[in-house]
Structure 1
Amino acid sequence: MSAETASEPKKSDKKASTKTSKFATEPGAQADSDSGLRTLIKLASHRDRIMLPVWIYALLATVGGTAYSLKKLYPAQSDRDKLGASIGTNPSLRALYGPLYDTHSLGALTAWRTLGFGGLLIGIMVVLLITRHTRAEEESGRLELLGSGAVGRNAPLSAALSIAVGVCFGIGLLTAVVMVALGQGAGGALAFGACLFAVGVAFAGTQAVAVQLTETGRAANGIGALVLGVAYLLRTVGDAAGNSGGAGWVAWLSPFGWIERVHPWAGNRWWVLGVTLAAGVVAAAVGYRVQNARDLGSGLLPQRPGPASAGPGLRGVFGLGRCLQQPTLLGWMAGIFVFGIVMGSIAKGIDQLLNDNQQVEKIIGRYGGVQGLTDSYLATAVSFLGMAAAFYAVQAVLRLRGEETSGRAEPVLSGSAGRLAWAGSHLVFPAVGSALVMAAGGLGVGVGAGAVLGDFWGWVGRMVRAGLITTPALWIIAAVAVALFGLMPKWTAGAYGVFGVLVFIAYLGPLVNAGQWFLDLTPFTHIPKVPGGVFHWTPLVWMTAVAAVLSAVGLVGFRRRDVSSA
């Protein structure tokens, strides 16, 4: 074979080369942008095979448990009419629960009580889901590895949205089935389920934009939480103002306000659902557009370069831990403080909500003790804030595992920093930070209660004390996360499941009149019910000791295992 012949490419090789070149030069073509979508959906579903059933079960149990409790609390139409009158004349109650549009059906009462809280839970779920499968994967470098193969640019975002929207659809459908099984009208049940589905779609769309703005998953989750908080605040302000003019229109700026105005079992205004779904679709389209216009690994918001040399506060492993954990702590303190003010400001109207209903008084007593009605309600408010703040405690612990799996822990540990010092630099935040979050929550409740009840500084002092007393319950849940991190690192995320189960027992147990042995499974049951109740040190000491032992076991396990182990 001559050199000339050897240098000439074969026709088949030339044809293959032409095809490959065409594929490479048209990466933005629609046919290729979602390549590998089905495989990514399967992968994401496998990763979330434990977390998603827990979310679905928690939401369904919340709806079913609330419907069951409302049926027992307000069995007669006269009781429901009194409740409706109380809601209509009390702005604080409307701010907390939303407006009640109809009192003639159990379904309408259930929608009033659960749409706001259930919609918020679904919003949190989709924010975490979409960040987990997009920006977090991009930050870790795994998305770049996948993109080097036969995976289109839009496939990861499409997979995340498919999972989130599919789960929201399943929750909406199963919720409708539950309400029909409880004897409620099918039309209202479908509208109710569609509300939960639509609000999930709306926040999935906004999170598709949020993950394009920053370079880290933590910041993307922060933006998503900010969007949820602003939306909930707009709903609160609008509902408190009511429909008699003023700022009532503000609720129409929030997806939470939209789904309330669908009026399930009280008109079923389907067109409002169309607005909610359209907002989610438009936001998702913006997310796709921004994603295709930016570089992989970058965000639209510019990253501020750090100083050339570390200041005194950043030197050492504890300075690094503070830098990583402090923004989250401050955000939680601010959020819990604001919600504490809202809950405390309702104290003066709590007697209107009850309307001499002995069943409601009994349930509040199970939450907050057997003392006076106002004291019992305020103790219940602090307990609810503690249940929410327990999520922060778990989140702060799991930052350890995030640093480990991302590879950032190994360079730190390869220097002079010891394992216990590095772990302690993070664990000081679920320990001390939990107390600060609960102090902020108690302060908020005290400010709200003092503003409407008088004796401002007295209520502030009592409620801050109540918040701090709740802290050992958070330490127990955080200590479980530490133990999992040290002994079974692969299952560290299971701490969220433990958190969900314990909060589920504490929240729904009193509503469904569960047995005391069942309520005793959660640490929140053992917290002294203050203000007004009898204070005992014994349960606090025992809970603190148990949390210390679990944490010590986890740290010993971490010292003995390999770093970044599966």
Structure 2
Amino acid sequence: MTGTGPLLRFLLRRERRSLPWWLLGVTLLVLVQSTQSQSLYGTPEALQRLRDTIGANNAVIAMSGPTDLLVSIGGEIVFEIFAFAVVVVALMNMFLIGRHTRADEESGRAELLRSARVGRHAPLAAALLLALLADVAAGLLVFAVAAGTGLPVAGSALFGAAITAAGLVFAAAAAVAAQVFESTRAVYGTVAALLGAAFALRAAGDVGSGALSWASPIGWGQRTLPFAGDRWWPILLSLAVAVLLGAVAVALLTRRDFGAGLVATRLGRGRASAALRNPYALAWRLQRGSVAGWVAGLLLLGVAYGSIGDSIEQYVRDNPEIAQFLTGGAAEVLNAYLAVTAGMAALLAAAYGVTSVLRARAEETSGRAEVVLATPVSRATWLAGQLGVALPGTALTLVAFGFGEGLAYGMTVSDPSQVPRLVGVALAYVPAVWLIVGVTVLAFGWLPRPAAIVAWAVIAYCAVITLFADSFDLPGWSRQASPFAHTPQVPLDEAADMPLLALTLLAAALTGAGYAGLRRRDVGY
């Protein structure tokens, strides 16, 4: 463990810009949910109406959690937000561990560190300690926000502790995956699959007898029942699993070679097939797994949202206070709900577009792009190959969401025409998503080093404006900077052609400017 302390300080310095954003995201989720729930369901009568409505809706239970929590306003807040907060914290841990273990080995940074007086286990120990500090910080912020908004202190402490314990489980799981696989992408894919399985098991258990929920770290946290019984002992289960997985990661580290994994990467063909002999096919081959994952995720999200569409009107009738948060009020409840869900899907599609474009930067800094550019391939053609995946991929993810939502909603109301209708609704957000992709290309072309910071800052800004502008009562001028503010809220509004055309042309202009920047700078810097 020699050198763990200095390494930890080094990792904290490396994360000083990105980690606070993760913590801010968790804090905002809990803050907004707590204030809104207390304003909507602050009376016993309102809470009872909510309990009667949700108790008969399996789709809402699958999305949120066990109805045992709906005995107090604090429990209702945990019911609404806990699973999503754990998803954010789990992703934070996945990137922290993956970036400072397997990614450092791939880039050669770990080898440079190991040449100093650093023990074999020090990098892994420092990464796990960083994750521990991040999870404790997230738990403390959740506690502070919950208690600060008037919820009982004991339940707030348990709420924060459950978030911390769930995060530690996924940090330890990422540490194990980093020893098993040779690539960072495989580590991220494995942890993401575990997170999806945990969510699915929790959902199936909550809808059923509850037994399957005990196979999920998310379910363990919810079974602590903050504000609805305050059971501390399930946290011990999360901590025990985290310690066990951490010990497994340390044991596996001693059994593998530096830079290798326990599962060797399968060797490719000696010669490329005809389908890989141009930059477009290569970009697709490199990103096809990511595209498939995002498409599947948005499809399932659409199914989840569509499955409760038929009950939204009844839900608002039972809880009329909710109408004030929907554009159009109670008269346009369903269309307002569909517009809100499409907007959220568009944010996720934009996040995929950013990751796809930034993949070009990763190819550049790793030296792989230089190999391609050494052949008769121009910079413009190489970048076009990357965008040949990013732009159609974002549209495809939105189509998948619209198809899933239309299919699920159409089945509940016995109307097959909802499928093409809601696919069209989702496609209305493509120009706004492409505009964010264009901003990312512009940053990549002219400001390659801070391109990721610029792109994710734009995503964060659009998310805050889309989700929290009304809650925070933000001024009108701040909303106009988001491309989603200029997108018609279909199906609540008519799909006007001019705003969509203007967004598309602006996206094309930004992309062209990014091309010009790439032509004028050195590659790899």
Question: Alignment partner of 1:509: what SS?
Answer: helix
Distance 1:121 1:353 in 2: 27
Which amino acid in 2 is paired with 1:395? T
CA root-mean-square deviation: 1.7
Say if 2:240 is the partner of 1:278: yes
| Alignment partner of 1:548 out of 498, 501, 508 | 508
- Give the superposition deviation at 1:372: 2.9
Does the aligned pair in 2 maintain the 1:62–1:508 contact within 8 Å? no
CA spacing shift, 1:103–1:232, aligned 2, 3 Å = closer
Aligned to 1:504: 464
For 1:274 and 1:523, the matched residues in 2 are separated by 45
Instruction: Provide Cα deviations, 1:130-157, integer angstroms capped at 9, x if missing partner.
Output: 1111111111122122222211111111
Q: Give the whole-Å Cα distance in 2 for the aligned partners of 1:233 and 1:544.
A: 37
Is residue 371–residue 533 contact of structure 1 (8 Å, CA) maintained in 2?
Answer: no
Matched, 1:204 2:171: yes
Aligned counterparts, 1:375-454, within 5 A: 375-454=335-414
The whole-number CA distance in structure 1 between the counterparts of 2:268 and 2:29 is 45
Instruction: After TM superposition, give the deviation of residue 103 of structure 1 in Å.
Output: 4.6
| Cα contact 2:346–2:430 (8 A) shared by 1 | yes
Matches within 5 A, 1:141-540: 141-241=108-208, 245=209, 248-365=210-327, 372-456=332-416, 458-494=417-453, 495-540=455-500
Cα shift at 1:375: 2.5
Counterpart-to-counterpart distance in 2, 1:67 and 1:176? 12
Q: Is the 8 A contact 1:382 1:445 kept in 2?
A: no
2:449 alignment partner, SS class: helix
SS of aligned partner of 2:523: coil
Q: Deviations over 1:530-558 (max 9, x none)?
A: 23531111221122122222222222111
Gaps in structure 1 of 5+ consecutive residues: 1-33
1:5 aligns with none
Q: How does 1:93-132 map to 2 (within 5 A)?
A: 93-103=60-70, 105-132=72-99
Contact in 2 for aligned 1:54/1:497 (Cα 8 Å): no
Q: C-alpha deviations, 1:263-298, integer Å up to 9, x for none?
A: 111111100111112111111111111111111111
1:559 aligns with 2:519: yes
Alpha-carbon separation, structure 1, partners of 2:196 and 2:202: 10
Which secondary structure state, in structure 1, belongs to the residue aligned with residue 68 of structure 2? coil
Secondary structure at the aligned position of 2:324 is classed as helix
Tell which deviates more after alignment, 111-120 or 526-535. Answer: 526-535
**Normalising to structure 2: TM-score of the pair?**
0.96
Deviation of 1:120 after TM superposition, in Å, equals 0.5
The CA deviation at 1:514 is 4.2
Q: Could you tell me whether the CA contact under 8 Å between 1:83 and 1:355 is conserved in 2?
A: no
Matched, 1:55 2:22: yes
TM-score of the superposition, structure 1-length normalised?
A: 0.89
Distance 2:310 2:207 in 1: 15
Q: Is the 8 A contact 2:47 2:73 kept in 1?
A: no
Displacement of 1:99 after TM fit? 2.5
- Superposition deviation, residue 371 in structure 1: 6.4
Once the two structures are TM-superposed, the CA of residue 333 in structure 1 deviates from its matched residue by 0.6
Structure whose CA Rg is larger: 1
The alpha-carbon deviation at position 513 of structure 1 amounts to: 4.9
**Unpaired stretches in structure 2, ≥5 consecutive residues:** none
Structure 2 letter corresponding to 1:122: V
Q: CA deviation at 1:334?
A: 1.0
Mark the CA change 1:371 to 1:563 in structure 2 (over 3 Å): closer, same or farther.
farther
- For residues 499 and 318 of structure 2, what CA distance do their matches in structure 1 show? 33
